Chain A
Amino acid sequence: MSLLEVRDVTRRFGGLTAVDAVSFDVHEGMIKAIIGPNGAGKTTLFNVLTSFDRPEEGTVRYDGVDITSWRAHHIVRRGIARTFQNTELFEEMSALENVMAGAHAVTRSGFLAAALRLPWTVREQREVAEESGRLLRLVGLGEWADAPAADMPHGLRRLLEIARALATKPRLLLLDEPAAGLNIAETSALAEALYRIRDRGSTIVVVEHDMGLVMEVSDEIVVLDRGCKIAEGPPRLIQKDPAVIAAYLGEEEADEL
């Protein structure tokens, strides 16, 4: 059984169909990429998968359960974490505190226990801080723990967001254009981090505009164009797929105009 089953998902905005009856599966332990030219509907689909948006039609099943109408914070608690194309960090908090915030989903100190500062909440807080430090080191940000997120360079902010997502202990991690705005060195560091995350046991879905990273890391690729799935398969087949080449060529022509 696949971990994530997407069936006939359709999302319209007024007269525009941003995502048109898209279906695919994500199997446990793989890195799956969703690619496509600008305006292909990648981010819309991504928001539907993470319950930040609702489809008009279709279903999203996770671990056998229909999560299409779940609220975003519920699916996080079930093990689906995400990052954002334009990082959504807590700017005034330190890197460590950002990651600790990610642990919200897997900790349980409530208002009452916190108000009374019960001993177990203090213990839980300390454990979260230690685990968050480990995650920062995993993505290579060990030295930045006390820096406010606002002061970090762009490339590292993306890694910080990934560390925060990992703090939710995800079975499925969805990354929205993680390589956007990164230079070559940063992109290869990102690729390394993705392998380490998969080897720790998370399944990864990555939405990318840029082909380079995708071809390198992904096991399978779904290609979208104007809201429709036009191809699906391993990277070497996708690279040769005439429909995919046509879609990307069309974009290059449009860019030249």
Chain B
Amino acid sequence: MHRNVDIKVAVLLGLIGASVFSVPLLTADRYMLRVLTFVGVNVIIVAGMALLFGYAGQVSLGHAAFYGIGAYASAHVVTVFGWPWVAGVAIAIVLTAAGGLLLALPSLRLRGHYLAMATLAFGEIMRVAFVEGKGVTGGPDGLSGIPFPSFLGIEVDSAGGNYWLVWSAAAAVLLIASNLVRSRAGRAMLALHGSEAGAMSCGMDLTGLKVRVFVISAAFAGLAGSLYAHVVGFISPSTFSLHVSVLLVAMAVLGGTRSLAGPVLAAVILTMIPFADAVIPGLSRSAVETIQEWQEDVYGLTIIAVMLFVPGGIAGALRRIAAKGSVR
């Protein structure tokens, strides 16, 4: 019976994967491809947020900072040092993982919600640094002319190519994340959610676990930032503001706990809402503007409603529906 379920899940994932990857074959609409590429970038970050919030029970109010560090570091080494873009990606991942470690170690050593506060402060410090560190970041105007990624000397400059690149990275990140949650480490994360005392009695190092999860989530954001910089070609501080950090929290919260699929779905929905016209043909400009006008209110109310009335977010709701179905 378990095997049957596994096969069904594998088939479903295969179908979803195939349809995601076939999009550039079906359309040449550059706007739509760019929006969907951006969705892929957010999916990468949210995979880490899902591990952090949904599994380790911690919240970061400053993940846009890691996103930004990844973007600026990658852009800098490529445009100024002339390094290949792959080196930029590697630097982005290493730097953000190291930054995540430095931030998480002291704040997770203590009980309480220090991590939320420390990440909030860190995010704001980095925002100031992005604006004021003109020598590296280009200040408020940002950096432009970041080259596209290239393979064997061939630049990936088509919208479809970039889409494939970002979604391949997203698939890799999701594979890593899903391996993690189904492993000994994932069981430990679920355990510390259930009972911290019980987890300690199983020999689990709670601080170590949370720190590791935070480092992974920071590195995912760094990777996303690096890809964003290369695919879009232009970065500026507003892309990495507190607002973005909060939006990422909204995705993780709406998506729900103990799940990767839920937060990924939430990331897809929340990222597309302001660009609804990219996927809904014929949606008028003014309708899109109205959506954007009320976007914040809707997101804010969604966060509150989920915390109050939908324990476990989308994932939790689906689990409850599934449980009812199996009883029947």
Contact = CB atoms under 8 A, between A and B. Distances in A.
Direct contact, A vs B (beta carbon within 8 Å):
yes
B172 to A, nearest CB: 10
Given A91-B194, A105-B203, A111-B180, 6 more contacts: A73-B200, A90-B190, A92-B193, A111-B216, A114-B186, A115-B183
Contacts of A83: 201
B291 interface: no
A73 to B, nearest CB: 5
Contacts of A117: 179, 183
A88 to B, nearest CB: 4
B179 A88 contact: no
Interface string B263-285: 00000000000000000000000
A125 B183 CA distance: 8
9 contacts: A52-B197, A88-B198, A90-B193, A101-B204, A106-B203, A110-B185, A115-B183, A117-B183, A125-B183
Nearest to A71: B205
Interface stretch (A6-14, A74-82, A239-247): A74-82
Contacts of B176: 115-116
Interface string B189-223: 01101110111111111100000100010000000
Contacts of A107: 184
A81 B203 CA distance: 9
Contacts of A102: 202
A100 interface: yes
A104 B203 contact: yes
A109 B194 contact: no
Contacts of A50: 201
Contacts of B206: 73
A128 B188 CA distance: 14
A102 B198 CA distance: 9
A104 B197 contact: no
Contacts of B190: 90, 92-93, 97, 101
A97 B187 contact: yes
Given A73-B206, A101-B187, A114-B179, A90 B195 contact: yes
A88 B203 contact: no
Contacts of B198: 84, 88-90, 101, 164
Interface residues of A, number: 42
A168 B203 CA distance: 8
Interface of A: 50, 52, 71-74, 76-77, 81-84, 88-93, 97, 100-107, 109-111, 114-117, 121, 124-125, 128, 164-165, 167-168
Size band of the interface chain B makes with A? 20 to 34
Nearest to B312: A92
Nearest to A87: B198
A88 B197 contact: yes
Contacts of B205: 71, 73
B180 A90 contact: no
A132 to B, nearest CB: 11
Given A111-B216, A116-B179, A88 B184 contact: no
B179 A105 contact: no
B183 A114 contact: yes
B203 A73 contact: yes
Contacts of A88: 195, 197-198, 201
Contact of B201 (A72, A93, A106, A109): A72
B203 A125 contact: no
A81 B201 CA distance: 6
